[in-house]
Amino acid sequence: MREIAASLGFSKAALYHHFHDKQELLLEVLLAGVEQAGTISATAAATEGSARVRVKTLLKGIAHHRQQQRSAMRLAEREAGNLTAEGRAMMFANYRAKFLRPIEAILEAGQTSGELTSGYESTWLTRALLALAQPLLSVDAADSEQAIAATVQLFFEGAGPPPASR
């Protein structure tokens, strides 16, 4: 807490005025990361157009905020185990509601419109999409448009040959 306070230009007492303990501060930092991720997925969900357009918007948001997202993910992976069970539950509930659920809604709309197969649950499709999006967290900004287009194509059309070639 002393190091955190010093890096912020606060006294340790001032930091404790705002946060009861290290747990509360950690949870607040993790929830801020979830909030930013939620803004990315909410923006994509609110975008007009097809599921493909909305997924592309999501991936652009992820790529644009890649440094913050990568940092937030690393912190969550490293520190979530240090939260109380209640704190972890709160963080994961927020992550699900604010980040994952809007993506699921995009993909469900894609299933309804016929852009995506209805043979998979939206939760599974969401995780598959996010796994495909993982490289966007490390791609150079100059290459992000091409990487986004390739990710969208791979998600919607698969890695196999075009249907006419099969």
Tell me the pLDDT tens digit for each residue of 85-124: 998 899 899 999 999 999 999 999 999 999 999 999 999 9
Q: Which domain holds residue 99?
A: 21-158
Q: Dump pLDDT digits (tens) for 11-21.
A: 666 666 666 67
Q: Dump pLDDT digits (tens) for 34-70.
A: 999 999 999 999 999 999 999 999 999 999 888 888 7
What is the rounded CA–CA span in Å between residue 132 and residue 20? Answer: 39
What is the rounded CA–CA span in Å between residue 57 and residue 49? Answer: 10
Which pLDDT does position 150 carry in this prediction?
A: 95
Q: Does residue 51 form part of some domain?
A: yes
What is the rounded CA–CA span in Å between residue 38 and residue 144? Answer: 21
Residue 7 pLDDT level (bands cut at 50, 70, 90): low
Cβ proximity of 138 and 62 under 8 Å:
no
Q: Does residue 164 form part of some domain?
A: no
Q: Does residue 47 form part of some domain?
A: yes
- CATH code for the domain in which residue 47 is found: 1.10.357.10
Nearest Cα neighbor of 42 from 100, 124, 116 is 100
What is the rounded CA–CA span in Å between residue 115 and residue 50? Answer: 8
Which pLDDT does position 82 carry in this prediction?
A: 81
∠ CA(140), CA(143), CA(144), 5° rounding? 85
Rg from Cα positions in the chain: 19
Q: How many domains does the chain have?
A: 1
